[in-house]
Amino acid sequence: MITALGIAQICSWGSLFYSFPLIAEAMRSDLGWAKPDLYLAVTTGLVLAGIAAFPVGAAIDRGHGRFVMTGASLAAGLLLAAWSQVGSLPAFYLIFAAIGGLQAATLYEPAFAVIARRAGPDGARRGITALTLWGGFASTVFVPFIQLLIDGGGWRQALLVLAGVNIVICATLYFVAIDPEKDRAPASRAVTGVASLSGASAVSRAMRLPVFWALALALVAYAGAFSVLTFHLYPILLEKGLDAAAVVAVIAVIGPAQVAGRVLVWLLMAEAPVRRIGSFIVPIFPLAAAGFAFAPPDFFVLAAIALGYGAANGMITIVRGLAVPEMVDRNAYGAINGALTAPMHLVQAVAPLGAAALWAHDGSYDVVLVVVIAGAVVLAVSFWTAALLASSRTQARDETG
């Protein structure tokens, strides 16, 4: 199951998420559209992803993971093919808005929910960690692959290939890997000592916990910084003076670094509480953001910064996947995680457009990078707060239990 899901996640992330900056730059050169106009599509798409996060998670909690992820991949393939034919901004916005909404049903969060349903809260940790090891290769595989497709046949041809990847590879693997008959039944109240709520009831209970809101703020800050760097790192490094080949090489470092960071967690922190792992990781983000902002335009220096950023990003993905059962609530993973990540998707939606607008106003990425550094600092402080709250809650539960 994990191998099939992992290969599918590489293809889903690579085709639906990491493809945009490269395709957008090619479209800007070909069609003459302004950068803010192009990045408005990202905003509309991720807004829909945020709206869809809770219902998708709740549907997977009810056992519909195979239908959700397979159907979303088929639809994504058809929409990528439609994107390859666009010639007007309104059509582009409509198509990419739908693609963005489908990301809520194809990327990590629904896959994590599928694993949690199959393995239960106690067994999910190993499966989620293993899945992130696979997903870490998405940018490494697809950024050079998409650049090769664009150089060889243009952005329209590249999108048609990506459409085939979703229809043939992703949809098939999700259908094969997700078998509702093998899912573990929810633990009973007699076993857990806590009523097993689902859907909106479980989310309502989680929202009464301060740790939920501290985690939400941390994820929002992370989403803003991550989204800006994901969608703008390519032009940021071009602006620094690197050529396209060097930029692709720097970005390609991030994928293996993500995998290396996750392997580090797997080997050295397999039993550590997720709050401790996250507290160790979060300070790396403001340091990496400052590095991208102030480092000289030297390939090796920027590659080293990308290495640290990638490792931290890889490890924080594991933290995201395990935060709900280990820090908030062990029941209704899909619904609670969907509610927790919904505002994260909304910030991911606004951040690339805001960065594009700042770039258009100033003609450079200097202010954008300062904002990214500030967001990374908020991430660190908020997660440390969540970790303290979760630790206190665990200690109180142990004392009364």
Cα(145)–Cα(371) distance, integer angstroms: 31
In a domain, 194, yes or no: no
Cα(186)–Cα(61) distance, integer angstroms: 10
In a domain, 193, yes or no: no
Q: How many CB atoms lie within 10 A of CB 290?
A: 17
Residue ranges making up the domain that contains 11: 2-181+204-400
Tell me the CATH number at 54: 1.20.1250.20
In a domain, 358, yes or no: yes
In a domain, 191, yes or no: no
pLDDT tens profile 45-80:
878 888 888 888 888 888 899 999 999 999 999 999
| pLDDT at position 350 over 60 | yes
In a domain, 164, yes or no: yes
In a domain, 355, yes or no: yes
| pLDDT at position 189 over 70 | no
In a domain, 196, yes or no: no
In this predicted model, which residue has the larger pLDDT, 202 or 193?
202
- Structural domains counted in the chain: 1
pLDDT tens profile 98-128:
998 899 899 888 998 899 888 876 677 788 8
Round the CA-based radius of gyration of the chain to a whole number and report it: 20
pTM of the model: 0.73
Mean pLDDT of 386-396: 79
pLDDT value for 224? 92
In a domain, 195, yes or no: no
Return mean pLDDT, the chain: 86
Instruction: Count CA within 13 A, CB hemisphere, residue 257.
Output: 18
